[in-house]
Each structure stands twice: as structure tokens, then as C-alpha cells.
Structure 1
Amino acid sequence: MMFARLQNCVVFLFLVSAAFSPLASIGTAGDTVAVADGGSAEAVAQATIEDSFIYKQVEHESKPRDLRIDWTRPSDWQAGGSRGAVVFFHGGGWVGGEPGPFAKHSQELAKLGLVCFRVEYRLLDKKGTAPPDVCIADAQDAFRFVRGNAKRFGIDPNRIAAGGGSAGGHLAAYLGMMDDEIVEGVSRKPNALLLFNPVYDNGPGGWGTKRVADQYQEYSPAHNITADDPPAIVFLGDSDRLIPVTTAERFQRLSREAGLKSELRTYAGQPHGFFNVNRSGGKYYRETLGETITFLRDAGWMN
């Protein structure tokens, strides 16, 4: 694959000053933010702090481009702590999107004590046929950055989940299912997976096959399940036109055959993207968030 060549063109910012110099503060404890679960905006604002930082610099059109991570933490957060964490990747078919869609999830999870991160990553040309190498490279680097700076982020390096929706679910699952690659002593393998209609089967007949072609074994999480992979929970509407329920059932079966904890939640009549806060009046956002909280609580990640 192309990752070795890609990494030659990036500059990593594993610096304390970079990690804690906000690129653009997007809120502080006390700002009013919207919520969709019936709770008060003021309660969320008092319970969370929002910031951004640069995790990586890449070349873009012969110019340097900064890639950021937005992060949400509880108001009583302190560096040096050992909280659980979630790193979220947005969807968009590898060609679109931005870190915002999981902001509400992050706020609610932070109210329960977690620290949440939302990653900006490079996108593919919509008209191109290139595989998602740059997306994967950025996802790996972002996850390692968070884990490598766990003490400064006040999190436990052994309790970091990866989550994502659609193509972001693919990136999260890729981190969890593909063989780990240790860089400077830091693993990029998550400790749990939170997958919202993930396009994690890229084999023949699966989503993204046109880009990965006969190299699908190098990209498809569903074709790389092994016993050392993390526990996962998957959310899927049974009317999703991109991901058949049979694909999710196969993933769950193979995961359990490998001895992994794997949970599947299906939702009748729901299409792709049903879990987003702005769909169905937030009904399935609330339901899937509740299931996510139960999953993490059962794993001992929060009270």
C-alpha cells in the first residue's frame, strides 16, 4: 500500500504547544449549544468544554495544509486524568463531509465523563477512482496522536474507542480490524468500536469496490476479522440501500466466531444516515446514543 510514501510528505505535530493551542476555539463551558434529546442547552454548556487543535500538516496544492481535531471534554476535566475517550470520524463517502456531525454525541458523552475527538481528514476527488489511502493515513495518524498524548488529554490510553458513520465507520473499523502498525511505540488499534451504518465490507459487491477493486483485502475490515480485534457495536437501518442487513449479520457472525464481542442493532424501515441528530426529530439519534452509552457503561468506561 501507499502509506509509507504518504507519510514522507507529512509533518507530525507531536508537540504540547500544538496539542493545546486551539486552532479555532468553537466554544467554552458557558456557551449555549443546541441539544436534541430534551435536555437544556445550558446544562450541556455547563458540562462540556470545546476546543480544536492541529494534529498534522500535509502538502495540498504545493502549500501546507493543517488538519484539525475538534474535542469535547467535561467541565471538570484535568490533564493527567484517566478518562475513557472516543475518536469520531465523519461520513461522506470518502469524498465529502466535515467533523461536525458527531458534535452532539460528543457533548452528551462528555456529560457522562468521556473525552471525545472529531477528526478532519483529507478527502478523495469525487470524479476519481483512487482508493482511500489518504483518508486511512490521516485516520491512523489522528488516532495515534490522541493515544500518544493521552496523559495530556487526560485519558486512559487503553480505553479509547473509534467511532464513525458510513465512510467514517469504515475508517473506525479499519483501525480496529486491520493488523496493527506501531509507530514510535504507539498503537493505532482502538479498544472498542462504535459503528453507525459503516461501509465496512469493500469486497466484491460491497460498497467502495470500484475504488479498491481486487485489492479489497487491503481495505475491507469485514475481510480482516481476527481474535485480537476490539469489541464492536453496529447500528443499521434495515432499509439502508448501501449496506444490506445480511452484510452486518455476516460481520457479527464472523466476529463472534473469532471470539469477539459484537453487537448489532437494526432499526425497521430506516435508511442510510438514520442515526443523525437532524433525522426523524432526533428519535434514532437518541436511541443509538442510548445504546452506545449502555455498551460503554457495560464495558466499565463510565459510571
Structure 2
Amino acid sequence: MHKVLLSSAIFLVLATSVLAAKPEGKPTVYKTVGDRELTLYITKPADWKKTDSRPAIVFFHGGGWVGGAPGQFTEHSKHLAEHGMVCVQVEYRLLDRKSDDPPVTCTEDALDAMKWVRSHAKELGIDPDRIATGGGSAGGHLAAYLGTVDQGKQDVSTKPNAMVLFNPVYDNGPGGWGTSRVKDRYKEFSPAHNISADDPPAIVFLGSKDNLIPVATAERFQEAMKKAGVDSELRVYEGQGHGFFNHGKDKNRWYNETVAEMDKFLTSLGWISADSK
């Protein structure tokens, strides 16, 4: 089991982080654990003012919960900043590749990062009711986790208002990705098993040949979201594998296509205008 877990994790790291850029934007410490400071990187529009009330998105990088680093969504952040959004890329603690521990620290950090962003909305010039989460692969899991898994009553909500998910490993139940880590605790972590009517609208991007997330898994997620009364869009790209959307791959063909669809989704929410920068 450890060999299978390790090989799967290594593939996820390679698929999601090999083309990752350096994080762009102002580094800010959002949390300290022991002697380690965890940082997020904030990209703002050129005409940003502290008195603004802009939409925002919080990005989580992929890497199987064991690898990767902030920077995977640098180009997405720069693009959306040009459309008027404040963008955040989050550093979170990674799991030991040799262990089979569940992603408790990853989800804890995601929750704390989201709480920090929303509680600092005024100084960031963002609207606390227009904060999306975004991410790829294991980062897509964290983005979807925040949108679906009930955290109970909180002083500051960690639930996003929209989700932008790139090949997210969001089904961690039996037969899904990550089961070897979450085991019988999958209902604590699996977005697909926590869908409810108060979840935010979502768009999901997936390659038809993704060897970690079958198209059927994404279709079931979309169907469950719609059954709960939540808007959920799914875009499947023929012949593409895991991590196909990353900037720099295939001369940016899939990056450009998925970004265009992301823009349409955010435009449909009234957050940006896809025709202007």
C-alpha cells in the first residue's frame, strides 16, 4: 500500500508542479506553527485601492498533499488581477510522503488561510461575500473542501462564495483518490460526500484521460450538486490527462481554453467582465 501511495503522490507532484512559476504578489504571514511561518501571496489589480470592495479568489496548489508550492496559479492570478480581482496563493503544510496520514494539517491550513483572508477583507479591499476558492488536484480538493465540508458555526466563515476547480481529487471515498490516507474517515475530508444546498456554485475542469479522476466521478459530483440545487458546471477536454491546464503546457492551448471558461463563469456571477481588463 505504501508503494502505491508513494507512486501516486509522485505522479501528482510531477503533473501539477513541474511547470509551476514562482509565487507573485506580496508575501504575508497568515499563520505560525511552532517556529514555522506560513505565507500567502497577494496579487492585486494595478488600480487597487484600500477602499475597494473587489471580488477575490484564494488558490491552493496541487501535489498530492505531499509536494508542490505556491506559484502554480501565478499566471491565473496575474490574469484575474487584470480583470479586477484580488488573488491569493496559499502555502500550506505538506504531508510526509512515506506516511499514510490523512490531510489534517492541509485542511487546517486551508481553513486558517480562508479565515485570514475574509477577516482581513477590509484592508485587502475585497468584498467578504465574493471570495472564491480555486485549486488543482490536491489543491482542488482543498478548494472544494472549504466549499462543501460543514465546519459548524464560526465567528468568521471559511466557506467560499464560488469554486474554480482544476482536476480536483474531490472524491476521497471508497475507490476514490486518497482513500489510502483517509480510510474510514473519508466523510471528514471528501467534498463529494458533503454536498448540501448551501454550497457555492462551481466550475470543474477535467481531461477525459485523467488517470486519477474518471469523468464519471466528475459527472456524479455535478449531478449531486444540481440535485442539491447548486449550480455546477463541468468542462471535459478530450484526450487530456492530469495537469493539462497548467500554464506552459502545449503552448498554453489548454491554459487559454480553461481560463476563457473560468472568465465566463466568473462573469456569470457578476464578478468580472470577460471582455475587459
Q: TM-score, normalised by structure 1?
A: 0.81
**Is the aligned partner of 1:161 residue 2:132?**
yes
Match of 1:235 among 205, 210, 215: 205
Matched, 1:135 2:106: yes
| Matching residue of 2:29 | 54
Match in the other structure for 1:37? none
Q: Name structure 2 gaps, 5 residues minimum.
A: 1-23
Q: Which amino acid aligns with 2:28?
A: F
Aligned residues: 250
Alignment correspondent of 2:9: none
Q: Aligned pair 1:75/2:46, yes or no? A: yes
Aligned to 1:198: 168
Asked if 1:289 corresponds to 2:264, the answer is: no
Q: Runs in 1 of length 4+ with deviation above 4 angstroms?
A: none
Pairwise CA distance, 1:182: 4.3
Helix, strand or coil: the match of 2:114?
A: helix
* 2:218 alignment partner, SS class: helix
Question: How does the TM-score come out when normalised to structure 2?
Answer: 0.89
1:86 equivalenced with 2:57 (yes/no)? yes
Deviations 1:126-158 (A, max 9, x none): 000100000000000000100000000000000
Specify the alignment match of 1:98 in structure 2: 69
Larger radius of gyration: 1
Unaligned runs of 5+ in 1: 1-48
User: What is the distance in 2 between the residues matched to 1:214 and 1:244?
Assistant: 21
Quote the Cα distance in structure 2 between the aligned partners of 1:237 and 1:50. 30
Partner residue, 1:66: 37
Equivalent residues in 2 for 1:1-303, closer than 5 Å: 50-59=25-34, 64-183=35-154, 185-303=155-273
Provide Cα deviations, 1:55-93, integer angstroms capped at 9, x if missing partner: 00002xxxx000000111111101131100000000000
Q: Following the alignment from structure 1 to structure 2, what is the Cα–Cα distance between the partners of residues 174 and 115?
A: 21
User: Identity across aligned pairs (percent)?
Assistant: 60
The 3 A distance-change label for structure 1 pair 152 and 181 is farther
**Separation in 1 of the partners of 2:169 and 2:25?**
29
8 Å CA contact 1:181, 1:187 repeated in 2? no
Deviation of 1:233 after TM superposition, in Å, equals 0.1
